[in-house]
C-alpha cells in the first residue's frame, strides 16, 4: 500500500491547512469551536431515525429564534439565496402581483427571481441606506393592492434594519401574503415573525446564527400554507417545492434529497448555544457590541452610513473617510492580522465598509480588538 492510500485509509493526514481568520465581515461569521466539534460527529444517513430526531429538535429551535409558533419551520438544504428561491418560487407564479420594497442589493435579487417566475412586479424604491417609513409603506400597499408583498428586514448591502409591523398590517388589509428576508437578522436581532405579522421568512446559518453556510431556515404561517394550496400552477422548481421538502422533513420522511447530517449537527449546536445564553440576552449582547462599535468609530472621526435607530446591530456600515482607499484597508487587515471585512458594492462601492460583529466576536473584547486594528490599517494605508 503506498503512502497516499495509507493516509486515505488510516485518516492520519489531511491534504489542506486552511488559514485562521477573524471573520468580521458580513458573513460567513466566526464559528464557535463546539460547532466544529459537533460537525466531527459520525455521519448518519438522510433517512436515519437519528437524523429525523435532530431535524425535529432543529425545527423547534428555529421557531424560538424566528419568534413564531408556525408548525412549518424547517431548514432548506441550500444557502440563504436558496432560501430566497424557495420562498419566491412557492409564492410567486405567472401573473402574481408582487409589491416589492427595494433599497439594496438583496431586494434587487428578489426582483430578479420573481421576474423569472413570471411575477408582475410593482416597486417602491429608496436610495441604498434609507429605510421605508410606516406611512409610505402602507400607502404603497393600499395603492397597488398586490397579492404578495416582499421586503428585506436586514439589508446586508446597506446596514438598514426595516421595521415591518405597519407594513404587514397594510398587506393583510389587502389580503396579501408578506415575505421577509431575515438572512442577516436571525439569531442576532429580534425577528419576531408572529408579532410583526410576517407570513413567510427565510434566513441562513452563516450570519447571526454563527454556523457554517449551507442551510437556509424557512418559516411559513398557516395562512401562507393555505395560500400555497391555492396555486393555479405547479412550482417551476422541483428541488425547492415546499410541499415535497416538508413532507420529507416533517411528515412521511420519504426521500426528497440527500440532506447533510453534518450541517444539521452544526445548526443544532448553534441553536443549543443560543438557548443556553438566552435569545434576548444574545440579542442585547449584539446591540451592546454595536453601540460600542459606533462610539469607537465616532471617536475615530468617522460616521455611520445609516441613521441611528435604523441600523442592523450585527452588520455595521461606517462610511469610508475622504482620502481613504477601502480596498487597501481591507487588504492590510487580512494580510497583517488575518481579519476579514467587506466593502460596499453597487452604488455604495468604495463608500462604506461592511463590518460584522456576530456570535463569538460580538463582545466588548471583540469590538476593541477590531477597532485597534482598523485604526492602524487606516493610518498605515493613508
DSSP 360: G
Whether residues 203 and 90 share a domain: the answer is yes
Q: What is the mean pLDDT of each run of 10 residues along the chain (382 residues)?
A: 48 85 98 97 98 98 98 98 98 98 98 98 98 98 98 98 98 98 98 98 98 98 97 96 98 97 98 98 98 98 98 98 97 98 97 98 98 98 92
Q: CATH code at 49? A: 3.40.640.10
Phi, psi of 309, deg, nearest 5: 95, -10
Whether residues 77 and 222 share a domain: the answer is yes
Whether residues 237 and 315 share a domain: the answer is no
Cβ-contact 194, 215 below 8 angstroms: no
Tell me whether residue 238 is in a domain: yes
How far, rounded to the nearest angstrom, does the alpha carbon of residue 260 sit from its chain's CA centroid? 19
Q: CATH code at 363? A: 3.90.1150.10
- Alpha-carbon gap, residue 246 to 219, rounded angstroms: 11
Which residue, 256, 274, 292, sits at the end of a domain? 274
pLDDT at 14: 84
> How many structural domains is the chain composed of?
2
Domain that holds residue 314: 23-28+278-380
Nearest to 235 by CA among 135, 86, 378, 123: 86
Which residue, 274, 302, 321, sits at the end of a domain? 274
Tell me whether residue 13 is in a domain: no
CB atoms within 10 A of CB 52: 18
pLDDT at 232: 94
- Alpha-carbon gap, residue 206 to 213, rounded angstroms: 5
**Long-range contacts of residues 238-242, Cβ cutoff 8 Å, at least 24 apart:** 240/76, 240/78, 240/82, 240/85, 240/86, 240/89, 240/90, 241/89, 241/90, 242/72, 242/86, 242/90, 242/218
pLDDT at 320: 98
Cell digits of residue 85: 428561491
Whether residues 318 and 374 share a domain: the answer is yes
Using a 10 angstrom Cβ sphere, with 0-12 exposed, 13-18 middle and 19 or more buried, the burial of residue 255 is exposed
CA angle 51, 54, 56 (to 5 degrees): 110
Cell digits of residue 320: 469610508
- In order of 97, 256, 315, the CA distances from 28 in angstroms are 34, 27, 12
Amino acid at each position: 500500500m503506498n503512502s497516499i492510500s495509507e493516509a486515505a485509509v488510516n485518516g492520519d493526514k489531511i491534504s489542506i491547512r486552511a488559514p485562521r481568520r477573524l471573520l468580521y465581515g458580513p458573513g460567513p461569521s466566526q464559528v464557535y469551536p463546539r460547532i466544529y466539534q459537533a460537525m466531527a460527529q459520525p455521519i448518519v444517513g438522510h433517512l436515519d431515525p437519528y437524523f429525523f430526531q435532530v431535524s425535529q429538535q432543529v425545527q423547534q429551535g428555529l421557531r424560538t429564534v424566528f419568534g413564531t409558533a408556525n408548525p412549518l419551520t424547517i431548514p432548506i438544504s441550500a444557502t440563504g439565496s436558496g432560501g430566497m428561491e424557495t420562498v419566491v418560487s412557492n409564492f410567486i407564479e405567472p401573473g402574481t402581483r408582487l409589491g416589492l420594497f427595494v433599497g439594496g442589493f438583496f431586494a434587487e435579487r428578489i426582483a430578479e427571481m420573481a421576474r423569472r417566475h413570471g411575477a408582475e412586479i410593482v416597486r417602491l424604491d429608496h436610495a441604498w441606506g434609507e429605510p421605508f417609513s410606516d406611512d409610505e409603506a402602507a400607502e404603497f400597499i393600499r395603492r397597488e393592492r398586490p397579492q404578495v408583498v416582499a421586503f428585506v428586514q436586514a439589508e446586508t448591502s446597506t446596514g438598514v434594519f426595516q421595521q415591518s409591523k405597519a407594513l404587514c398590517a397594510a398587506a393583510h388589509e389587502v389580503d396579501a401574503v408578506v415575505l421577509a428576508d431575515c438572512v442577516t437578522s436571525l439569531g442576532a436581532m429580534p425577528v419576531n415573525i408572529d408579532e410583526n405579522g410576517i407570513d413567510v421568512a427565510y434566513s441562513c446559518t452563516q450570519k447571526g446564527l454563527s454556523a457554517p453556510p449551507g442551510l437556509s431556515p424557512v418559516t411559513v404561517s398557516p395562512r401562507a400554507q393555505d395560500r400555497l394550496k391555492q396555486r393555479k400552477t405547479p412550482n417551476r422548481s422541483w428541488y425547492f417545492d415546499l410541499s415535497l421538502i416538508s413532507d420529507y422533513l416533517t411528515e412521511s420522511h420519504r426521500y426528497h434529497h440527500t440532506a447533510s447530517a453534518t450541517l444539521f449537527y452544526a445548526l443544532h449546536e448553534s441553536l443549543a448555544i443560543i438557548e443556553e445564553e438566552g435569545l434576548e440576552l444574545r440579542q442585547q449582547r449584539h446591540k451592546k457590541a454595536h453601540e460600542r462599535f459606533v462610539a469607537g468609530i465616532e471617536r475615530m472621526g468617522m460616521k455611520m452610513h445609516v441613521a441611528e435607530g435604523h441600523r442592523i446591530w450585527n452588520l455595521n456600515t461606517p462610511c469610508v473617510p475622504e482620502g481613504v482607499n477601502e480596498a487597501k484597508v481591507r487588504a492590510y487587515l487580512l494580510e497583517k492580522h488575518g481579519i476579514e471585512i467587506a466593502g460596499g458594492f453597487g452604488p455604495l462601492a468604495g463608500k462604506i465598509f461592511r463590518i460584522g460583529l456576530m456570535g463569538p466576536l460580538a463582545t466588548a473584547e471583540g469590538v476593541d480588538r477590531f477597532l485597534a486594528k482598523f485604526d492602524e490599517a487606516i493610518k498605515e494605508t493613508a
